[in-house]
A and B are shown apart, each in its own frame.
Chain A
Amino acid sequence: MEGLTTAALSAIWLGILTSISPCPLATNIAAVSYLGKQMENTRGVLLSGLFYTLGRMAAYAAIAALIVGSMLAIPDVSNFLQKYMNKALGPLLIIAGMFLLGLISFSFGSGLGHERVKEIIGKNSLIGSFLLGLVFALSFCPVSAALFFGALVPLALKQNSSVFLPLLYGAGTALPVIIFAIIIGISADLAAKAFNKLTAVEIWFRRVTGVIFILVGIYFSLTFIFKIQII
């Protein structure tokens, strides 16, 4: 039992270490702005943060379960995700940013279907937060690959805990992002209320988030597709 408690704390700590290392910084900034923009109330930020965390937890638990079940080999899955997810992320983030800025809109015809899609992706965007967590977790960078595949998975194997420890690791990777999102969301909310300009601040927050998504997307495209080293 004591072993499992130590392992659980280690899993959370490894997650936090992953999140605060420099290489996932770009995606973390995008996530903070996306979650923080649900600023109409603290509950909104918390709920989005929860779904973002669930997305990350699901991604890590699924990979660990596939590895432990011997369906995937660590080098194969790690190298595949590092190579292709980061390449796909660039165009994906730019398109998401264009959507946030209102440059493009989803129009799958008109009527009920259209409204439903808008409702899902647009306002509360809990599914958006979940998908963001899932996709960002799958976009492994060298540090996250080293800590997840090199430290967390062996720990999970040793403890015979292929789901529980990866779930905690996922929660650990989301923790710093959520804390920053809450601070930013609440600060913006207070400032907006103080100046009685909630709608205007909300619109600007959404625009800034869109711009951040596009910039991070351009950074990923230049780095991973065109192989231009910026930093």
Chain B
Amino acid sequence: MSPKKIALIVLTVFVAVSIGYLVYSETREARPGATEIVEQEKQGEQIASTTALASDEKQAINNIVRVYYFHTTYRCPTCHKIEEYTKNAMLSSFSPEIKKGTIIWKVLNVEEPQNQHFVNDFKLFTKSVVVVDEQKGKQVRWKVLDRTWELVHEQSAFSDYIRSEVKRYLEGA
């Protein structure tokens, strides 16, 4: 068999398998409940337990600021950078509030079934950092921090931006 023929067969098989897998995964995704619902908590057990503690103390905490980083299954280099810079800014500036439960910082994949509603809730069109003001369990206002893509090349400006926006929400301004 000539190398040309081998290449033709290998590539044709690859294309066929790709298309087959694409159709399979799309139909599986369309079926509700087919995949197990597991919430992805990227910040590990510590924050998860803090969140649990926060819900126990719900009565004491009326005002919560939620800071989300929403991504999809496909992660690009810049997306990783935005997540890392936001996480650093959050943990370096708001650790006491995160421990207290007045700020909740989460990284979520919007392609997971239980998170898909966030796309409509916040009108998301790309990977985004969103800050939400929650009072007595109700979302009273939210903001997509869309300058993150513009500032991602200067970490200090990026961190200042995250800090000032979160602070503004924390102070109820």
Contact = CB atoms under 8 A, between A and B. Distances in A.
Given A23-B76, A142-B126, A146-B146, A218 B8 contact: no
Contacts of B46: none
Contacts of B22: 87, 225
Contacts of B8: 98, 103-104
Interface residues of A, number: 41
A82 interface: yes
A224 interface: yes
Given A142-B76, A223-B74, A150 B11 contact: no
B70 to A, nearest CB: 11
Main secondary structure of the interface of B (DSSP, over half): helix
A2 B149 CA distance: 26
Interface of B: 4, 7-8, 11-12, 14-15, 18-19, 21-22, 25, 72-79, 119-120, 123-127, 146, 149-150
Contacts of B4: 102-103
A143 B149 CA distance: 7
Interface in A101-117: 101-104
Q: Is the interface of A mostly helix, strand, loop or mixed?
A: helix
A195 to B, nearest CB: 26
Contact of B18 (A143, A145, A225, A229): A225
Interface string A189-231: 0000000000000000000000000100010010111110101
Contacts of B78: 21-23, 142-143
Given A149-B126, A150-B149, A225-B22, A231 B77 contact: yes
A184 B4 CA distance: 27
A227 B72 CA distance: 11
* Among A95, A150, A151, A226: residue with most chain B CB under 10 A: A150
Given A74-B125, A86-B74, 5 more contacts: A78-B126, A79-B119, A146-B127, A150-B126, A225-B25
Nearest to A147: B149
Contacts of B75: 229
24 contacts: A22-B76, A22-B78, A74-B123, A75-B120, A79-B119, A82-B72, A87-B22, A94-B18, A95-B15, A97-B11, A143-B149, A145-B125, A146-B146, A149-B125, A150-B125, A150-B149, A221-B15, A225-B18, A225-B21, A225-B22, A225-B25, A226-B18, A226-B21, A229-B75
Contacts of A149: 125-126
